[in-house]
Structure 1
Amino acid sequence: MINLPEEYEKEMRGLLGAEFEEYKKTYEQPVRQGLRFNPYKLTKSVWENIMPFEKEQIPWVENGYYVHAEEKEENPARHPYYFAGLYYLQEPSAMTPASRLEVQPYDKVLDLCAAPGGKATELVCRLQGKGFLLANDLSNSRAKALLKNLELTGAPNFYVTSEKPAKLVNNFPEFFDKILIDAPCSGEGMFHKEPKMAEYWLEKSPEYYAEIQKELIIQGAQMLKPGGKMLYSTCTFSKKENEETIAYLLEKCEDMEVLAPLEYEEFSEGFSLEGKSEEICRQLKKCVRIFPHKMAGEGHFLALIQKKEKNRDNIQKKKAAAKKEEKPDACVEEFLKLVSFDFSNGKMKKEKDKLYFLPGDGNMPKLRYLRTGLYLGEIRKNRFEPSQAFAMALSPDTFTSCIMLSSKDIRTVKYLKGETIDVSDLKPIGEKGWQLVCVDGFSLGFGKLDKGILKNKYYAGWRMQ
Structure 2
Amino acid sequence: MHSNVYLPQAFLDEIAAILPKQLNMEDFVAACQRPLRKSIRVNTLKISVEQFVQRAQEKGWQLSPVPWCTEGFWIEADETIVPLGNTAEHMSGLFYIQEASSMMPVSALFNTEEDQFESVLDMAAAPGSKTTQIAAKMENHGVLVANEFSASRVKVLHANIERCGVRNASLSNYDGRVFGGWLPEQFEAVLIDAPCSGEGTVRKDADAMKNWSKESVISISDTQKDLIESAFHALKVGGTMVYSTCTLSIEENQQVCHHLKKTFGDAVEFESLVNLFPGAEKALTEDGFLHIFPQVYDCEGFFVARIRKVGSAAAPQVKKRLGKFPFEKASHKVQADVAKQLEQALSISLPSDASVWLRDKDVWLFPNALEPMLGEFRFSRMGIKIAEAHKNGYRWQHQVATALATGEQAVSASLSVDDAREWFMGRDVRPEGQSGKGEVIVKLGDDVIGLGKWVGNRIKNGLPRELVRDKNLF
User: Which range, TM-score by smaller chain?
Assistant: 0.7 to 0.9
User: Contact 2:183 / 2:377 at 8 angstroms: preserved in 1?
Assistant: no
Q: Distance in 2 between matches of 1:399 and 1:366?
A: 39
1:334 aligns with 2:341: yes
Out of 3, 21, 25, the position equivalent to 2:6 is 3
| SS of residue in 1 equivalent to 2:24 | helix
1:417 aligns with 2:420: no
Aligned position for 2:318: none
Aligned position for 2:270: 258
Aligned position for 2:73: 65
- Give matches, 1:393-408, under 5 Å: 393-397=403-407, 399-405=409-415
- Give matches, 1:45-444, under 5 Å: 45-51=50-56, 52=59, 53-68=61-76, 70-71=78-79, 73-102=81-110, 104-202=115-213, 205-254=216-265, 255-261=267-273, 262-266=276-280, 268-271=282-285, 282=286, 284=287, 286-308=288-310, 325=331, 327-328=333-334, 334-337=341-344, 338-360=346-368, 362-363=370-371, 364-379=374-389, 384-397=394-407, 399-405=409-415, 409-425=417-433, 427=434, 431-444=436-449
- Deviation, 1:72, is 5.2
| SS of residue in 2 equivalent to 1:348 | strand
Aligned residues: 436
Which letter maps to 2:36?
A: V
Which letter maps to 1:304?
A: R
Same amino acid, percent of matched pairs = 27
- Deviation, 1:109, is 0.4
RMSD: 2.4
1:454 aligns with 2:459: yes
- Deviation, 1:220, is 0.9
User: What TM-score results when the alignment is normalised by the length of structure 1?
Assistant: 0.87
Aligned position for 1:315: none
CA offsets 1:235-265 (integer angstroms, 9 cap, x no match)? 0000000011111111111211111121330
- CA change 1:60–1:343 in 2 (3 A) is closer
- Deviation, 1:268, is 3.5
- Deviation, 1:375, is 1.5
- CA change 1:171–1:417 in 2 (3 A) is same
User: Contact 1:356 / 1:374 at 8 angstroms: preserved in 2?
Assistant: yes
Q: Which runs of 5+ in 1 are unaligned?
A: 272-281, 311-322
User: Contact 1:356 / 1:375 at 8 angstroms: preserved in 2?
Assistant: yes
| SS of residue in 1 equivalent to 2:297 | coil
User: Contact 1:289 / 1:302 at 8 angstroms: preserved in 2?
Assistant: yes
- Deviation, 1:203, is 8.9
| SS of residue in 2 equivalent to 1:119 | helix
Question: Which range is displaced more, 397-406 or 325-334?
Answer: 325-334
- CA change 1:212–1:196 in 2 (3 A) is same
Q: Distance in 2 between matches of 1:167 and 1:199?
A: 31
User: What TM-score results when the alignment is normalised by the length of structure 2?
Assistant: 0.86
Q: Distance in 2 between matches of 1:361 and 1:242?
A: 32
Q: Distance in 2 between matches of 1:69 and 1:333?
A: 45
- Deviation, 1:70, is 4.3
Which letter maps to 1:377?
A: A
Out of 3, 17, 34, the position equivalent to 1:14 is 17
